[in-house]
Each structure stands twice: as C-alpha cells, then as structure tokens.
Structure 1
Amino acid sequence: MTRSKKPSSPNKGAKAPGSQKRKAGARAPSDIQLSAEDRTTQPATKSKRATKGKGARKTSARKTKVAKSSKPNILFRAIRFLVYWGVILGIWGGIAVAGIVAYYGAQLPQSTDWQIPNRPPNVQILSHDGGLIANRGKTGGQEVRLSSLPPYLPDAVVAIEDHRFYSHFGFDPIGFTRAMVTNVIRGRLAQGGSTLTQQLAKNLFLEHKRTIERKVQELILAIWLETKFSKEEILEMYLNRVYFGAGATGVDAAARTYFNKPASVVTLAEAATIAGLLKAPSRLAPNRHPKRARARAKLVLAAMEREEFITPKERKLAMTMPVKAVARHKTNSLNYVADWVMEQLPAYIEDINEDIIVETTLDLRMQTLAERAISSALDTSGKKYGVGQGALVSATPMGAVRALVGGRSYQKSQFNRATKAKRQPGSAFKPFVYLASLELGNSPNGMRVDEPVRFGKWSPQNYSKKYMGQVSLRRALALSLNTVAAQLAFEVGPANVASTARRLGIHSKMANNPSIALGTSEVTPIELVGAYLPFANGGLRTDPYVISRILTKSGDVLYVHPALAGTQVIAPNVLANINSMMQETLISGTGKKALLPGRPAGGKTGTSQNYRDAWFVGYTANLVTGIWFGNDSGKATKKASGGNLPASAWKAYMVGAHNGMTIAALPGVSAQQLAASRKRLGAEANPWVNPDLLPEGQSAMPEPKPRGFFSRLFGLN
C-alpha cells in the first residue's frame, strides 16, 4: 500500500514546529533569527561576518570614548605634578639663592661704610699760554661732567651696552636671561648680561674675577648704587671710570688717546667708535684695527637709531663721516716735557690725591719748531754724518724753558736725552775756560801762541792739525783752538776752571786736570744750557725750570715759581768781553752756519773726542738754546762736528723762534758795538732795541729824519 507524502513546508527542509524536542539549554532558532516577513528595511539575509563587524565597531567606539575622556586627566595630573614640584624647587631654590646672597653679602663691609672711592687723580699739564701738553696719571684724561659732553656720547654707550638702563633697578632680568640662553646655545661664555650699574660696581669696589662671589657682590652693590644715586650720576661715574684700552680710563682719555681731542668735541661717528670699544678695547682700537672699529661703530649707530637716540638720517650721515684715529697718542716730543714735569712734581707737592693743573713755561709754537729742527736735521743729514739721535733745550735768559726735545722719536724711545744723557761737551765747554782767564785780568785782545804743547803726558792738538802761531784770545775762541784753551786752563788752574763752570750752573762731576779745557767731563744738555744763561741775562746765575705754577682743579694754588733775580756771577765788564768774543764765533769762527742775519748772537761749537758728540750752544738777548747730536751707544759719528749739523739746526730753530721778538744787543755790548755787529751781519741797526739792555745814558731811539712836503701834508712818516 502506498503512503501519501506530507505537504512540504514553506521553508524547504525545515521541520515543523514542535516536531522535535529541544535539547536542554539550547536556544530556539526563533530567538536569534527573524523571518523575512518580520524585516521591513533590512535585506532578506545578512552574513554572520557583518553581524560580528558591527559588534566590533561598537566596542571600539566605546574604547575610544574612554581613551579620549582619560587624556585630559593625564595632562592635568602632569601639569599639577610640574607645578607642585616647580613650586617646591622654586622655594628651595629661592632659599638657596638667598643663602648665597646672604653668605657672600656678609663678607662685604657694612653698607653704612660704603663710599665711592676717589677717581685716580689726573695731572693736567699746560703750556704757558694755556694749551694742553699732556694728561698724566693712571687715567690718562680729565674727569668730565655729563653736561659737558655731547648728548650722543652717553647715548651711544647706553644704546650698545645697556639699552634698558633707564628702566631697570641695577639688575636686568631680561638681559641676564637672554645672555644665559645665548651662552648655553653657544657652549661658551659669550655674553655677561651685566648692566652699566653692575659694571660700575665692579670697577669701583671689586676685583676683576669671574666667580660667583664676585657676581653676587656686584649685584648687591649695583642695587645699592641705584638707591643711592640718580641714573645721571651713575652714568657720569661710569663714563669717567670705564676702561677704553691703551691706558685710557674714561671717555675724555679715550677721546684724547684715539682722536687727540677732548671728549667734549667728538663727532657722532667718533662717539660711536668710543662706545664700541667697550666690548673689546684692544681688538677694536681704531688706530690698530680700523676695519673692526668701523664695523662695530655701525652696530652702535644702528642701536642708537633703534632706541630713537638718533634719526635714520643722522645714522646714515654719521656712517659717511671719516674717523681719523691718531696712530699713537703719546708720540710727539711734548711727552718728553710731560715726563720731566712728572719727575719734578714730588719735590713741589707731597701727595696728589685730587686732580691738579700744572702750568709750565713751555711755548707750543717753539716746541713745534724745535721738534721739526731735530727731526729734519736727522732725516736729511743723519745718515750722512752717522748720527742717530738729537736733543734740544731752549730757554729764556732767566731760565724759563720754552722748548725741549729729548730725542728723535718718543714712540721708539722715552729716554730724555735733554735732561738725562751725560755727554762730553767738547769745545762747548771752552767759554768757562776763557771766562776764568778774563776774570784773572786777561783781555780779548791778549795774545797767545798756537803751537804744539805738552802738559805731562798730555799733548792736545787742534782738529785741523794745523797751527796759527800768534793769535788773540778772541780769535782763538772763535776758531776753537785747542792748544790755546789748554794753555789758559794750565795758567788759571783746572780747579779754577771747574769752579767757574760750577758757579755758572754746571753741577756734574768735573775732572781736575788740564784736559777739562777741552770738555772731557760729561754734562747734560739742559745743564750746559743753564750754565750759558748768565751770558744772556746780564751775568745772573739762574737754573732752567719748566713748572711755573701748580693748582688744584678748584683753583687752590699749591706752588708758584719764585720770581728771584738771581745771584750776580759775572762782573759786567767781564760779561761784555766774553759776549763780544762769543759773538765773533758766529761772525768769523766755527759757528758761521749758525749766523742769524740781522740779530746779534753768541755761541760756541763743540765736538768731543773721535767725533762722538756734536754740539752748538748759543744765545741772543731773548733765548738760550743748545743742540746735541750723536748716538746713544757712543759710537763715533762720520765727522759730525758742532759747526755743521748742530749749527745748521740751531739756526733753523732760532730764526723761527724769534719771530715777533725785539732785536737787542747782547748784555754788556754797547749800542755802537751792536750797530757795528749788525753791519757785519749784513743788516741795518734796529732802532727798537730793548732800552734795558743798553748802557746807561744811551737812547734806543735814532734821531728822527726830516720829513718832506708830501709826508707832512699826508701825515706820512
């Protein structure tokens, strides 16, 4: 029998509900699936993979949400951690800093004892007409007031060194932090971060050491300065005490050292150059490294423009201005005079504890002529005569030194040959021999025999190796005959010659033998000039001097050179004779190259043994001047004698030095002798001679000439 099939289910292969029992714990398919009819928007079927992906996305989203919500918490905790420990470290750091400050500050004196130390005193040396010769002292310049400076000079320093100077309290935290960061980045100490006030504190009170102790004390003192003084006072002290290199302390010294002018007249470009020196004075010196100095000055000018101290137009103009630095400040011959002044100063004032002014007798015009005469002679004829050095001393008949040159170049040698070099004067010593003879009764017209002579083992000879036979003393002195001078020294005695020379002003040791007549005993140029002064001043003993007055900067007088007439050391009649003889030396003797046209003068040439020294010492009624040429080593020259190089240089100087001076006879020489001498010199007698130098009863005025009709009509002379 055939069975009939059951109707198929709508879902093929699916079993009828309830046809089979469920296993224990199992879910019915209806629990996890929906029929197609139950779905409205979803597809009829969906894979198991898709279902799983959806669940994963939901889980990931929940995790991301949790992660995002946890980040602020971590950041907050980190910030809180840093703030907490930052505060802790700040407190302990502050305590440490306070401890360091207290420790090093305790080593300073009590603040009630703090005082600004005096600036090292400056010695300002002036010529007799008020011109500056030099500044001497540790600073090299004068102390200046801020008001006396051009405003752009302090502005330049502030702009490049401490542009927040007017706003900080002595310490600049911003500048300090910037400097420290720069140092860390560069890995070396490139910047210091010190303010002007800190630099001033260091210069005033502390040693220049890079230690924590010094830095802390510097800061303490800087704050004290800010509370004690105004910004202007601090800046003024700084500008007067900061070091600019080359021995210059303060802006005035810097201006004089590098530009040979006071700080009050420097230009904007020069002010920028001076301010630029503060970074590295030796490396940025305009006289040694002009390119570096100019580049630094441009930075200073840019800083000044940035701080609005100057306008862009002023900056551009300053950059085009030439800056001419002197090669070396202390090079000219005036420094020989300044050194000589400083050597004498302790004899007049005991202690120098404030700025002082020394007024001297020096004439700047004559000093220039003197320096030119020596340098020109050496430049043109030094090699020819084998001469390397020269010296000159020129003074008024009463001893006021008008010019002094101590050597060829002060830059190369600071040894003052005019005041310190002892050399044999040679025949320039003979006037003392002849003077001693005249004082014993001999006359200029007395006769001697020029012939070979011997005194013991000594047998002097004339330089020409020739002999003239009978000759007058006047002629023997004019021609500088050695044999006659030796005879006179033997006649009067070497001791008498030495006594005569000492009476007139020679104080060096002199040999007590006949050779003294030929100037074998050494003397200095200024000493020999001093001994010639009585010939020019009427026979009075007087010593050369250069200091006329010393006073403080406030005007208190510390010393005045006494106006003493001097002691009479040559009788008037003897003086007239020796002056007429000395005048003949220039007219017809060995000193003809020193002849001054139209102006009476006397003098004597001098040449030492083997031509080692060449001299000419001469005088008028206005000036006494001595010149020496030779070599420092004592090496013999190439026959340089008193009658060539020294005589020519003497004339070159004296002609210019006498410009504007009255022509006058030598003391003791009559008006008739003056006219006769001037006639021989190739000039008419000058009627305007000094009446004080004429014999009593003689007039200095000539008889007036009758005037013609037109002269009377128009008032012409």
Structure 2
Amino acid sequence: MARRDVPRRSQDGATPSQRSRESSLLGRWLRRIVVWGVGLALLGALGIAGAVFVTARSLPGYDKLKSSQAGQMIVVRANDGTEIVTLGPSYGKWIPYNRIPNSMKDALVSVEDRRFREHWGVDPVGILRSLMVRAESGHWRQGGSTITQQLARNIFLNSSRTFDRKIREAVLALALESKFSKDQILELYLNKVYFGGGAYGVDSAARKFFGHSGEQLSLGEAAIIAGLVKAPSHYSPTADAQAAVDRAKVVLSTMVDAGALTPAQAENVNFKTIHLAAEQGQNSARYFTDWVLPQLDVLLPDNDQPIEVWTTLDPTAQRAATDAIAAQVPKGAQGALVSVDRDGAVLAMVGGTDYVTSNYNRATNAVRQPGSAWKLFVYLAALERGYRPEDRVMDEPVTIDGWSPRNSGGTYAGQIDVRTAFAYSKNTVAAQLGNEVGFGAVANMARRFGITTPINTLPSMVLGSSDVRVIDMVRAFASVEAKGRLVTPYGIRKVTTTDGEVLYSHRPDASQQLVPDYVAAEITDLLQTAVNIGTGRAAQIGRPVAGKTGTTSSNKDGWFLGFSSGVTTGVWMGRDDARPVPGLQGGTAPARAFASYMRVATAKRPVEQFQTQLQLPGWNLEPDDEAMLNNPADYSYTDENGNIVNGQQGDGLDDQGMPGQNRIPGQPQGRTPDDAIPVDQDGLGDGPPPRGQAPARTPSAPRNAQPAASDDLLDRATGRTHPATAPRAPAPRPATPPKPPARSQAQEWQGF
C-alpha cells in the first residue's frame, strides 16, 4: 500500500505553508506602513519646505525688522501740557552685533539656547529634552523654543500657547534662519527682546537698571539682564534685587557649563558692587496715572496706535498735595488725598507716602470707615426732611435698639441747635436725627451722593461704621459745593494721536440735582461752622472754608473733607493694617494737610463767599475730639433683661453707670420741662423725648421746596423705587416692629 505524506503540524496546529503566508502578509503591511510613512514624511517635508520658502520670501528686509516696534506708546500730559510720564515700550540705542559685549552675547546664548549655533531655527534635541522632562515631572519645566523661535514670536506672533501658534512659530524660525545669518538673528534678538519695565533691547535695559549704555555692561550686569528674559517681572532688580542676583548666579553657572566662562571668572563676580539706577518718573503722580490709564480701555477700546493723553492733573497742586501728606502724616502711617475742581476735574491725587515703596492707591482703592465725616449724609437727610440749622435739638443720652452712643468724655450739652450739634460733632444728636429720618434714608442719601461701597443700616451707621473710598467721599462733598448738583470726578480731558488728531474729548455729564439748592446751602452753613469754631478749626486758610472732620475708634483713621473757592479736597490718614495711630484725629494732621494743600491750590483763585451767610452759634462748647465713635467697647448697651451694659466704666458716668449730663450754658442746673423743652407745632410741650425717638426741635416756617431728586435718579442710585417725599412734612414712618434682642455693634454689619 502506497504511503501518503501528511504535512507536519507545529504544536500550535499551523502548517509551514500557513506560517509562511502569515509572515508574508505581516511583511507586506510593514513595508506598506514604512512606504506610506516615508511618503508622508517627504510630503510633510516638502510642505514645510514650501511654507518656509514662501514665508522667507515674504519676510521684511533686515532694516525693516530693525525699525519695527512692539507695544503702544502712551505719553501722559498734565493740564498745562507738560509731560507726566511716558509709558509703553522703551527702545534704547540700536547696538550692532560687533559692539555688543561678548559677555552679554555669551550669557544670553548659554541660558536661553545653548545649541544656537548648531540648529536651523528649530532644535530637535531641545524638543526631545523638553518632552523627557515633561514625562518625568508631569508638567512642563523646560521650553523647547530656540532664540530664533522667540524672535519670531516677539516680532510676528502673540504669546498664546496653542498648537497652531507653535507650528507657525517653527515655520517662521526656519524662514528667518534661511534668510539671515546667526549673527544677524542674535543682533535682532538682543536689540528687541523684552527685559521688563517697558525696556526692549539690551541698551534700554542697561539704561533703565544701571544708568549707562548697553555697550558698557560688566559681566555681572550682563548676567542680571540675561536672567530677566525668563520672567521679567519676577526677576526685575528694581522689584526684587535678591531674586535678580540669585537668577544671575544661575546664568553664570550655565555659562561655566557651556564653556563660556571658567569657574574662577564666575566666582570673581561681585554683585555687591553693582549699583542700580534711580527709578525715573516714579513719583506720586503715578497714583493718578494708574487710576486714569485703565479708563482708556473703555474710552478707546480698539486703539493701538501711539497716543497722547491730556489729563486734568495740575502739577503745582500735585506737588503741594505730595508735600502736605509727607509733612503731616504720622510716623508709620499712610496718607491719601484727592482734590477736584468744581466740574469734577481731578487736580491732584496722592495714594500713599511713597509710590516706589507701595504703588497701592489708597485714594481710589482702599476702603476705610469715615467716622463723623459720614454725618454729612445724616444732616443732609434731616435738612431735606425739614430741619433747619437754627432748630433746637437735645444732646442727651439716648438708646436706639439697644445701642447707646455717647459723646467724647461722656458729656452732654442738653438743648442746643442743629448748627452747634454739627459743629461740635455731637454723636447723640446724629443718632437721634438718623433714627427720626430713618437709617435707610441716610443710606439712600449716601448712595445719591456717590458712595459706591456697601452701606449698613444699623443705628451705628450714623457715626460712620460703613467703609468708604476717599474719592467717593470727595465726590459727595464736591456735589454739596456744586449747590446740590451731581459731580463726577474725571481725569482725562482729551486723547490725541501724536499728530494732534483728537480721538476722544471729555463731555460734561448732564446736570442732575441731588437735593434742593436750599438744602445744599444749609449743609454748607453747617460745614463752614465746623471749620470756624468746631472740630475743623485747623483747616482754616484765610478764606471761607466749609468742611468736616472724621475720626474712627482708637484713632485708626483720620479724615478731613472740605471745599473753598471751587476746589474740593479730601484727606485720609491711617495705617494699612488698621492699627491705632496715637494722636491721630480728623482735626489734627488731616486738617493741617488740607490747609497746607488748599493754600496753594486756591492761591490764584478769587476769594468766594458761600451763598449762605456764616452764622456762629451762641453756644460755647468744647469741640468733640471724636475719640470714641465706632468702638463697641466705648458705648453702653441694653441687654435682653433691660440692664445697662457699659464697655468702659468710668469716664463721664454717674453712680448708676449712666453717662452724666452737662447743663446748658445760661440755664440753671436743675432744669424743668417749662424752661428746657421747646414747643411743638401744636403748641404743646411734649416733654423730654423717649430714648430712641425723635429729638426735640423748634419747627421752622414751611418752605415751597422742590423735590430733592427725581424718581429715576433715586432708582438708579439705590436700586429701588422711592415715593416722592412732601417738602417739610415728616415722611410717614412704618409701624415700629417688636424690639429685637440687644445686639452687639461688633457683629458683622449687613450691606445696604
């Protein structure tokens, strides 16, 4: 029987022919992948080559690249046309390659692109190294961009981190390398790279930081400048000298590793012998420019051409403001000042004692308690409701919702008039007036006059427990000076191109009456009385002045705000950490700084009398030094059981722990209702007012008053609709709610 050959099978059951067919199939697919990969790579290379060729053909010439500049140049001018500061890119003298110090070239190449002379614009080795570091650390620590790529980005692209931008950056880098030499590329880079502080190029950086040409850089200076490229703001020697030196030492180390320096040469660099140039243009006017320039984003949002900004700043007034703050601010404290003309033009602005040390603008950004300066709004609300300066009120102990304010020293004058109560900043009268007109009405008045910060409506708000900004308070006083019309501070008069074309011109806001003119006249009456015989006597300048002091608890804040001859000025002093400042009161250093400044600011203006005639009160009282305004420990409270709880026993309290009361000048000590209590409109004596209710007063003849403000204005100022209030007639008060449990004024105030 014939034997039949049977193909042998391997252990996996496959025959040799089957394995051969599978191997052949795999080989064919591998060959296809290789062929397609090579083909795609060739196509990609051809595409990149074509893109590079086209890009290189379209690149500007070398001279054109040298003259190109990045960023917008802005020249800021004062109201007399003098230059305040020039902002934007600063390009120094162009330094040719052969005149740039070798130490500068070596430092920059060593720290930014050690293989600069070896690649074609894109460094594959650098890219692989960056990817390896990314894989090991989990995030990007090393950039793969070459000097040529950075140059392409700085000249032609933005700094967005997108894949598309990286591709275009690589193509541009290859095109630059194909068109220009390595020396030309490095020359462009060193004259155009950004080194911080507005300085573009080695020469500009050398002049900014060291005060001399870039051709005179020492090795240590070159290392500092080369270290800035990575993070200009972080390593700036003017911002953090130690960080700049530490970074420069890293640069020297990389130069040693690259063979550009010997270890001995690096060790011999002494950074202590390097002197920084003084900052230019870093005076107090920069507080003003920091406030003004961001407004350009709204006024001219799409403009990127060089411009000149003509501002309202008065150089003489600005110098006087700076000197006044520097001369009067207590040691360890800060000061701020804002001054505006009658139309709202900002004449001077000081945001701190030293812009270089701290560029935080306390005039526009800081929020602090105003103390008794807030009484402006309390008395405005009372005058609008129908009070008059000569009306009688009672300065006596009062408790409102468990809160018992007291005057300085715990003394009380009894029956006095409104003018006297304001001049001597009587806290109890302000509390009673606020309670009568309504704390919400006081808050509405503050909103109406330009207070933009949250306002609480607890009883203590009448003494200035809500935080405010200096510029907002100045706006409010300026609106009083404008006879009750809205004043909006502004700092830019016009913006022009360098050729003189006007791009923007300030237009005055539509006039809006905030309160009737007679109310503005009456509050001016009170304000000038406060300066003549009250707490603001240190603010007198030899011409009519109206103003108000403000002091917060433990002398943490001191304010003076006032106006004269069309100029309204506000001064604040205090510590940034809100710690007490011994001896600081509104009537001391702030009032003196106000007077010092205003003598200069009004010197060339005619003396202007206020429309209301000055009437000095007949009361001879000691001014309230405002040392106890907002500190809960300085007040008495009624607990839930009706017991009086006092934060500080002693000082002006009687045997029962209650504040004492002085007699009214000219009145017997044992006063009776007949000789002390005024007659109301019905002709009947009401007796002493219960605590927490309206202060007693003598009514005045009704006046034909116009509404203080339109409903539309009130809606926009307060965020809700307010019914019209009949002139002189007290507004209806809501039913008295059940008395809540006593609450501490130290609790967090709710925003209005």
The aligned residue for residue 222 of structure 1 is 180
The structure with higher relative contact order (CA 8 Å, sep 6+) is: 2
| Aligned with 2:558 (options 614, 623, 638) | 614
The structure number with the bigger radius of gyration is: 1
Q: Judge conservation of contact 1:392–1:403 (CA < 8 Å) in 2.
A: yes
Secondary structure of 1:624's counterpart equals strand
Q: Distance in 2 between matches of 1:487 and 1:570?
A: 21
| Aligned with 2:331 (options 382, 402, 406) | 382
Aligned residues: 487
1:150-181: CA deviation from partner (whole Å, max 9, x where unpaired): xxx55x6677239xxxxxxxxxxxx9xxx99x
The aligned residue for residue 270 of structure 2 is none
The aligned residue for residue 721 of structure 2 is none
| Aligned with 1:669 (options 607, 612, 629) | 612
Secondary structure of 1:605's counterpart equals strand
The aligned residue for residue 534 of structure 1 is 479
Matches within 5 A, 1:625-636: 625-636=569-580
Higher fraction of helix: 1
Q: 1:402 to 1:157 in 2, by over 3 A?
A: farther
The aligned residue for residue 394 of structure 1 is 339
Q: 1:552 to 1:238 in 2, by over 3 A?
A: farther
Secondary structure of 1:392's counterpart equals strand
User: What is the CA-CA distance between 1:221 and the residue it aligns to?
Assistant: 4.2
Secondary structure of 1:418's counterpart equals coil
Q: 1:274 to 1:480 in 2, by over 3 A?
A: farther
Q: Distance in 2 between matches of 1:375 and 1:282?
A: 38
Query: What amino acid does structure 1 have at the position aligned with 2:309?
Result: V
1:413-445: CA deviation from partner (whole Å, max 9, x where unpaired): 222111111111110011111122112221111
The aligned residue for residue 424 of structure 2 is 479
Secondary structure of 1:351's counterpart equals coil
Matches within 5 A, 1:427-442: 427-442=372-387
The aligned residue for residue 458 of structure 1 is 403
Q: Judge conservation of contact 1:612–1:634 (CA < 8 Å) in 2.
A: yes
Q: Distance in 2 between matches of 1:421 and 1:345?
A: 22
Q: 1:206 to 1:373 in 2, by over 3 A?
A: same
Q: 1:274 to 1:663 in 2, by over 3 A?
A: farther
User: What is the CA-CA distance between 1:583 and the residue it aligns to?
Assistant: 0.8
Q: Distance in 2 between matches of 1:659 and 1:282?
A: 52
TM-score, with structure 1 as normaliser = 0.59
Q: 1:413 to 1:221 in 2, by over 3 A?
A: farther
> Unaligned 5+ residue runs, structure 1?
1-100, 145-152, 163-174, 227-233, 261-268, 290-322, 675-717
Q: 1:493 to 1:207 in 2, by over 3 A?
A: closer
Is 1:128 aligned with 2:79?
yes
Query: What amino acid does structure 2 have at the position aligned with 1:134?
Result: V
The aligned residue for residue 685 of structure 1 is none
Identity among equivalent positions (%) equals 36
User: What is the CA-CA distance between 1:216 and the residue it aligns to?
Assistant: 6.0
Q: Distance in 2 between matches of 1:131 and 1:253?
A: 23
Query: What amino acid does structure 1 have at the position aligned with 2:599?
Result: V
Is 1:641 aligned with 2:585?
yes
The aligned residue for residue 353 of structure 1 is 304
The aligned residue for residue 44 of structure 1 is none
User: What is the CA-CA distance between 1:253 and the residue it aligns to?
Assistant: 6.1
The aligned residue for residue 225 of structure 2 is 281
Query: What amino acid does structure 1 have at the position aligned with 2:331?
Result: G
1:461-518: CA deviation from partner (whole Å, max 9, x where unpaired): 1123211112211111111110111111112111221222222222222122332211
Q: 1:272 to 1:469 in 2, by over 3 A?
A: farther
Query: What amino acid does structure 2 have at the position aligned with 1:497?
Result: V
User: What is the CA-CA distance between 1:410 and the residue it aligns to?
Assistant: 2.2
Query: What amino acid does structure 1 have at the position aligned with 2:326?
Result: S
Q: Judge conservation of contact 2:56–2:179 (CA < 8 Å) in 1.
A: no
Q: Distance in 1 between matches of 2:284 and 2:350?
A: 6
The aligned residue for residue 10 of structure 1 is none
TM-score, with structure 2 as normaliser = 0.56
User: What is the CA-CA distance between 1:130 and the residue it aligns to?
Assistant: 2.0
Matches within 5 A, 1:107-256: 108=52, 110-114=55-59, 119-137=70-88, 139=89, 141=90, 153-154=93-94, 160-161=99-100, 203-205=154-156, 217-222=175-180, 241-243=192-194, 246-249=197-200
Query: What amino acid does structure 1 have at the position aligned with 2:495?
Result: I
Query: What amino acid does structure 1 have at the position aligned with 2:100?
Result: E
| Aligned with 1:497 (options 423, 426, 442) | 442
Matches within 5 A, 1:592-607: 592-596=537-541, 598-607=542-551
Task: Note the aligned Cα RMSD (angstroms).
Answer: 4.5
Query: What amino acid does structure 1 have at the position aligned with 2:323?
Result: R
Secondary structure of 1:367's counterpart equals helix
User: What is the CA-CA distance between 1:365 and the residue it aligns to?
Assistant: 2.0
Q: Distance in 2 between matches of 1:441 and 1:606?
A: 25
Q: Judge conservation of contact 1:478–1:589 (CA < 8 Å) in 2.
A: yes
Q: 1:658 to 1:255 in 2, by over 3 A?
A: farther
The aligned residue for residue 559 of structure 1 is 504
Is 1:575 aligned with 2:528?
no
The aligned residue for residue 466 of structure 2 is 521
Matches within 5 A, 1:324-339: 326-329=277-280, 331-339=282-290
Q: Distance in 1 between matches of 2:312 and 2:515?
A: 26
